[in-house]
Structure 1
Amino acid sequence: MKGNLYKFTIEHLEDAKGNDLEANPLVFETKNHDDIFKIVEQMEGKMQLDNQDTKALLIGLKLFSEVMLKNKDSKPFKELLPHFKNFMKELKKK
């Protein structure tokens, strides 16, 4: 698959009670057809979210949408795809 290759590292810093954690990070690589850095840069300040929430939303959407597109004929993605496309169109109007 062609696309931009990304390496994600997610660290669990504290639990729900605020206790510090020492856990191994979750590390994985994945490809995406879009330049995620460019999208985040373009959308910062355009949404009614703070910058941390904007980044989390956009990165989550890009990871999710790439998996959905690769598996678009599988349930539940097949049923969700038309609604997701509409959501993305509205988001891109920002």
Structure 2
Amino acid sequence: MINLAKQTSGVKNVYTYLKTKQDRYECSSFNILANLKQNLFSDSIIKGTNVRVSVVGCDVVFSGVISKIEQEKHAIWYAKHIDGVQEVYSFLKILN
């Protein structure tokens, strides 16, 4: 699947995040997602609808398009300060 994406006309980069599923996680992905979404939508710098958020196990994964590096910094800060979050990955693209 990754090779197919790389060979597709117009594709410049392919970023992957794959993780082996565990039987049990030490966090609530629902609570992490709800808390993070609330913070993103109430932040005056981040356009909450432009940032996609996934919670995989206890990791937060961001994707989407933003206009300023400050938006990414705020999103990452919020994620790192939520109880239960282990790792934060950002695949946000900054448009110039």
TM normalised by structure 1 equals 0.30
The structure with the larger Rg is: 1
Structure with the bigger RCO (C-alpha within 8 Å, sep 6+) is 2
Report the structure, 1 or 2, having the larger strand content: 2
Q: Normalized per residue, which structure has more helix?
A: 1
Instruction: Normalising by structure 2, report the TM-score.
Output: 0.30
